Amino acid sequence: MKTQSELTDFYYKKLHPSLIRLEKSRKQLSHRIITVALIYSIVSLLTIFSLYKISYNLDIIIFGGFLYIAGGGLLYKYLIKDYTAAFKQSVIAPLISALDKNLIYSTDAHIPSHYFTSSKIFTTHPDKFEGNDYVKGKIDDVTLQFSDIHAQKKHKDSKGNTHYETLFQGLFIVADFHKHFKGTTVVLPDSAQTTFGTLIGHWLQSHNISRGELVKMDDVNFEKKFVVYANDQIEARYILSNALMQKLLEFQKRSEYPVSLSFVGGNIFLAIHYNKDLFEPSIFHSLLKYRIAMQYVNTLHLAVGIVEGLKLNQKLWSKL
């Protein structure tokens, strides 16, 4: 697997002709979007207020505003569709291939929903499960797969209107941990102690009835960042060795976003909560900017680097 530095060099050197061509298309597209948005907004607002003057019904403005937002979103997706496809074919696919030749990339596919449910990271079953940018392959004899995921729960209000609550949006990773776990161990961001302090936070954690037993770890720094639940305390402490806890702290620091993970069956599951679609192209920022380039390089290297970072390839345990 290429290092992060090697992948960055590949981005700027090998992909440079594609980047120049895409940059020209990006500028043209951004101007087109701004023009279409202005025309769409003027026509929509004039139509909504004209209808309101006829009936003086506020519901028309509310409903019109909803249609304006929904229609704008669909129009935007339509406008960027071709550019997005070209970007993924010219940039993301070559980056993944350069990272490791054993990885297979599919733009439209995603992690199967049963992995999301069986991970036990989330206690609510999603009603809507979407995703894209699916990557699968073997690195150092470890099966790895990941994709962007957007999982949502459907709700209805008192008037019967339907809306969707986001359960998770970000990168979802599944890797073979070379160990069959008898129990379930779930590691979550420690938001309770961060928000309410150690005393109240610990009380809230220990009374979380939707999880297993609270497991107290002997690493102070790990306890500040994560909270651990398991139905087998001995196995949880066996899995979360001091070395692995340090690796997870390093992984959390590199990701810069909340990380949840679990050990179930023979797999490790990771959910990195980005709250956005990671591999979509930047429309209003240059692809040639270092910060923009690093978003793609860092994300890919972080996802695939789990094999090396958590030492999954060392097979410390044999499967039962």
**Contacts for 254 with CB less than 8 Å, ≥ 6 apart:** 298, 302
Q: State residue 199's pLDDT score.
A: 44
Q: State residue 170's pLDDT score.
A: 92
Tell me the two tokens of residue 311. Answer: 């030492």
Q: State residue 210's pLDDT score.
A: 60
Instruction: For 142-163, give one letter per residue: b (16+ CB within 10 A) or e.
Output: bbbbbbbbbbbeeeeeeeeeee
Q: State residue 56's pLDDT score.
A: 73
Number of H helices, E strands in the chain: 12, 9
Partners of residue 174 on adjacent β-strands: 145, 269
Question: Alpha-carbon distance 101 to 138, whole Å?
Answer: 9
Q: What is the CB-side half-sphere exposure of residue 154 using CA atoms within 13 A? A: 7
Q: State residue 48's pLDDT score.
A: 84
Amino acid (one-letter) located at 200:
I
Residue spans per domain, the chain: 4-180+265-314
Note the residue count of the chain. 320
Partners of residue 263 on adjacent β-strands: 185, 268
Q: Where are the beta strands (DSSP E) in the chain?
A: 104-106, 128-139, 142-156, 162-176, 185-189, 213-215, 226-230, 259-264, 267-272
Question: Alpha-carbon distance 307 to 286, whole Å?
Answer: 32
| pTM (2 d.p.) | 0.83
- Name the residue among 154, 189, 169, 155 with its Cα closest to residue 110: 169
**Contacts for 311 with CB less than 8 Å, ≥ 6 apart:** 243, 247
First to last CA, the chain: 29
Residue-wise pLDDT tens for the chain (320 aa)? 777 788 888 888 888 888 899 999 999 999 999 999 999 999 988 888 887 777 777 777 788 888 889 999 999 999 999 999 999 999 899 988 888 888 999 999 999 999 999 999 998 899 999 999 999 998 878 889 999 999 999 988 777 778 889 999 999 999 987 778 888 999 999 864 444 344 444 444 444 556 678 999 988 899 989 999 999 999 999 888 888 888 888 888 887 789 999 999 889 999 999 888 888 888 998 888 877 778 778 888 888 887 777 777 665 555 54
